[in-house]
Structure 1
């Protein structure tokens, strides 16, 4: 915390200014499904009020230009990634913002000795009564109750700030946001969740599985029935022996209570030897515990072990034992965690960036629950060169302010040379759980408006969709969009504008293959971020889970496969004395890389009562640019500085 004296000095800078008329700063469009207003919040209750200060250079357009400078192959600064210290300095709030906000609070009766400021100057906090807060923000606070869980939430419908203060504040918490993901219940040695697949705080996941496998099919002759590491190497010409080893890094993210089973890793390794190097039997990922993350052993089932086993079995096999793989295990068993808790650990400046973590959606550490993690991980982990995450939200689950704050952090990681991959979702044009949007913004299974996925819609991550080998086809035949058990998530954002790197490819798709839907079905403006960016096979993965083999399906399989390929490309670049590829989107959309992908031209991604979008030559919002041809990508990236 910064000193009382320093706060006083900032307040004195603008203490003589006149408080200007109020302007609306935020308003909630609708009340989320299942919540109802119960009563006014007690006027003498204390609210942990936080003002997230606006930070320079964080609007989406500025971030895009900054990232373009180090990520576009035609840029003279390509590959010249920033240090964490430079990132922190560049995005620090200005003294003017601190002065304006603290002076306003002082003039409003909040004495300076009550104010607290983060070390990075990202937010100003004060414990204020409800009556004080309502006067400050010209609003009313109510208690809202969730009909199914009985959970209570404190919020207002809208709030106001003085016109001269509003530009200096990005977000106020608690206020209008209902970024609620109902957390898991812990009953003895078993866990259950109250949310659909893909919600990170609950620890649930994307992949689907079918019957157990009685007989493994060796070789690559029947990859339409069973996908193995050998099938993937044959499909994508993925043959490479790493030589950089410890100089390189590959991170796979899992959220507690999801956990891998060591004996399953060994069972997989015994049956599927890596392409090169020593045996993977006995090999384990390097555990990086974040926010108390543990590889729990109390609960065993596909729901608890399927995702982590799938990710690690294929990630480790495809890069071999010569390339260490780091497991980012996020969240303790009591609180759980979110993407933001991961980002806190990867970049310490994010802990307080624009107000810090959200009380409702993120795990708030130190964890006050019995046995909870008593630390707060801020900048405690060096980011891997490539980070693969197979979890996701529906974009509509979160407020625009929340998604923009998080998306800006992915841009900062890109500036530092980190490749961030997210699976695009398994429900086609629909969202997690097959939910679609209604005209009022709510989400139901009977909705008819396409429901995009986040973080895939953030323009600063690489979104990975899914393909399949068609029944009866071989690894030498063209793949199609995945429509076995799952459908490749894809579409157009309702929150984020289209980035420059994507305009040409998306424009060509919309001009030549305009989807047969009106603007009441999806964001048809042609000015929004489209996803996924590329794809890989996501069907019939042979996966060892709890002592048996199962066929597993999902874009959560595709993401670590692409991550493994990019990690090996980084290995080659590091061996040449070059830097990792970092944020890849401006490069893979550039003309020079156009021939480096297998174009997927058959299949759709059904959802919301429609067949969804259709694949097409070039880019499409089902499979992106297509599937990677590793040998061509390796050659092209070796030519870049």
Structure 2
């Protein structure tokens, strides 16, 4: 809830009266399908808001804070922060609030129209007109139109006084674009700029279920995954543990991804064992966020496939003893974004309190007819492990938007949450195979590699995909997945290489990219690289629409598999009164964990008209550190503090 800003903090600092304006944000190119239509009317009203700079969110500071509770050598390993401590530590200062509010008031906006959010994350100008916004920001607002449908208001660039710049992370609405969604789209899109789900790719139908291990090169089943990674485990502390799967409702009236109960039951009839227990009739624990529902208005693979796949394998691998939470995010009217989900997990991040962008993130309470009339803000306790099979292109977001969300993942890691994201299914290309052009646009004919997000954030765990080589067995080394999909991987254009990854990235670049240079000018070097690890993501036997098994491929298959293994490691630690593992990257990249992964040294991740990066000994930007060796990882984490 917005609060009126105290009068004492609006005093004008005369020393800054003549502070020159400097550019704070600029968009290099329009997203695909958009064109400029006209100047926006000067008397039109904008939801003008200023996201304030949070202290301690410098990437180096965040790394240090996160390493303190995440590195097994740290004396504070496992001593995760409470949500209250996180909120207090990252709240903007009074100096920041005063600088921004004073400038706005000095510029002619009446004090009673300037509001500050309760937890100091945002400053809003109530009923701001386009003319006022253009004066404040030295910008020009235009109406943009999409080639298929819809309009959007934005500017190409905006400016702030030099003394205000250190206190503002992001201004909305300005340069970012809200995506359009049409009924009848060929795949599920997430409610974020220019993104799509890392959806499972249908590779064929299954006439006969091949549940024998000698057929795992043709058809992956839960038994294959257990054999590949030594993943045999029965939970001991399920009541203390938690594992969550996230499904997002797309915007603009597309129907929600939702599992079918009949599909879960028939999958369970075919794959339940004495180890898993009887999963027939077992359901995930539904946690509805912002009106998320299990819709069954229409049932087609695009509406049911992702949720069916995620839950069929996640529930089987953690067995019937461990409850699995399903976070169903967003109503059927405006959909949902990653930030909407983060709002529910962390009250300090909520809209009017921190992280949301009203021009990008669906609004709650939903103002439209039939929409969800509440806003779930800090209402959900996060699971210890959360698996997400959705992503978007890093280039679709401004660096400020991406950085603010990335900082929130660091905060969740500090609270002991392991956030897993699929690395993408188009190799070094972006979603739908689009690649960057020199002018910043993304097209099917682009040739510059396009990193994904959030996997390019150094505070999440990025999961790539492998496969069994045709004709090989579960005891043979896997290769990078190139059948049906290409394992997403590469280097961020926004985030520097984190300390925990510096040695392996430097070694890979020196050995494989610089002598001679591989595809010069098409990718960044020495930045955050991904994936961190991988698992099989090829030819999963998945039940869709009852009585029809199909084969699917994707990092959206490998991600919940890794999540299941990490959830069971948490179970083992909780059973002996230890803390959950939280953010795992500082541990898995440490010398202590060398040899705990099955190295993958064959294959590439093609895209953008190139073969992509080569898999290699040790870490590589195709399969990361390799696939998990569950017994070794379990032993190492049980021995850790």
TM-score (norm 1): 0.95
The residue number in structure 1 matching 2:185 is 193
Partner Cα separation in structure 1 for residue 298 and residue 197 of structure 2: 13
Q: Work out which of the residue numbers 229, 235, 238 in structure 2 matches 1:245.
A: 238
The residue number in structure 2 matching 1:217 is 210
The residue number in structure 1 matching 2:76 is 77
Change over 3 Å in CA distance of 1:566–1:204 after alignment to 2: closer
Question: Could you tell me how far 1:370 is from its partner in structure 2?
Answer: 1.3
CA contact (8 A) 2:173 2:359 kept: no
The residue number in structure 2 matching 1:188 is none
The residue number in structure 2 matching 1:521 is 522
TM-score (norm 2): 0.95
* Deviation >3 Å, runs of 4+: 1-4, 12-17, 196-205, 352-356
Change over 3 Å in CA distance of 1:456–1:16 after alignment to 2: closer
Partner Cα separation in structure 2 for residue 566 and residue 32 of structure 1: 37
The residue number in structure 2 matching 1:147 is 147
Change over 3 Å in CA distance of 1:184–1:336 after alignment to 2: farther
How does 1:421-432 map onto structure 2 within 5 Å?
421-432=420-431
Partner Cα separation in structure 2 for residue 570 and residue 105 of structure 1: 49
How does 1:164-563 map onto structure 2 within 5 Å?
164-178=163-177, 180-185=178-183, 192-193=184-185, 199-200=190-191, 204-256=197-249, 257-274=256-273, 276=275, 278-352=277-351, 356-514=355-513, 516-523=517-524, 525=525, 527-547=526-546, 548-563=548-563
Partner Cα separation in structure 2 for residue 204 and residue 64 of structure 1: 28
CA contact (8 A) 1:274 1:318 kept: no
Question: Could you tell me how far 1:40 is from its partner in structure 2?
Answer: 1.4
Change over 3 Å in CA distance of 1:3–1:286 after alignment to 2: closer
The residue number in structure 2 matching 1:189 is none
Question: Could you tell me how far 1:38 is from its partner in structure 2?
Answer: 1.6
Taking only aligned residues, the RMSD between alpha carbons, in angstroms, comes to 1.7
Partner Cα separation in structure 2 for residue 111 and residue 610 of structure 1: 56
Change over 3 Å in CA distance of 1:234–1:582 after alignment to 2: same
* Partner deviation per Cα, 1:82-105 (whole Å, 9 max, x = no partner): 000000000001011111111111
SS in 2 for 1:246: coil
Within the alignment, does 1:588 sit opposite 2:588 as a pair?
Answer: yes
Change over 3 Å in CA distance of 1:19–1:124 after alignment to 2: farther
SS in 2 for 1:52: strand
CA contact (8 A) 1:490 1:532 kept: yes
* Partner deviation per Cα, 1:98-153 (whole Å, 9 max, x = no partner): 1111111111111221122211110011121111121111222111112222x211
Question: Could you tell me how far 1:276 is from its partner in structure 2?
Answer: 2.4
Comparing 21-30 with 81-90, greater Cα deviation is found at 21-30
Any gaps of 5 or more consecutive residues in structure 1?
186-191
CA contact (8 A) 2:532 2:624 kept: yes
CA contact (8 A) 1:605 1:611 kept: yes
The residue number in structure 2 matching 1:29 is 28
The residue number in structure 1 matching 2:90 is 91
Question: Could you tell me how far 1:624 is from its partner in structure 2?
Answer: 0.2
Comparing 207-216 with 456-465, greater Cα deviation is found at 207-216
SS in 2 for 1:247: coil
SS in 1 for 2:594: helix
Question: Could you tell me how far 1:277 is from its partner in structure 2?
Answer: 5.4
Comparing 259-268 with 65-74, greater Cα deviation is found at 65-74
* Partner deviation per Cα, 1:393-428 (whole Å, 9 max, x = no partner): 011121111111111110010000000000001111
The residue number in structure 1 matching 2:253 is none
Change over 3 Å in CA distance of 1:444–1:275 after alignment to 2: farther
* Partner deviation per Cα, 1:355-375 (whole Å, 9 max, x = no partner): 542233321111112111111
Q: Number of residues paired by the alignment?
A: 629
Partner Cα separation in structure 2 for residue 63 and residue 375 of structure 1: 32
Question: Could you tell me how far 1:274 is from its partner in structure 2?
Answer: 4.4
Partner Cα separation in structure 1 for residue 274 and residue 560 of structure 2: 17
Comparing 241-250 with 130-139, greater Cα deviation is found at 130-139
SS in 1 for 2:214: coil
SS in 2 for 1:631: helix
CA contact (8 A) 2:211 2:223 kept: no
Within the alignment, does 1:576 sit opposite 2:576 as a pair?
Answer: yes
Partner Cα separation in structure 1 for residue 575 and residue 483 of structure 2: 40
Question: Could you tell me how far 1:14 is from its partner in structure 2?
Answer: 4.5
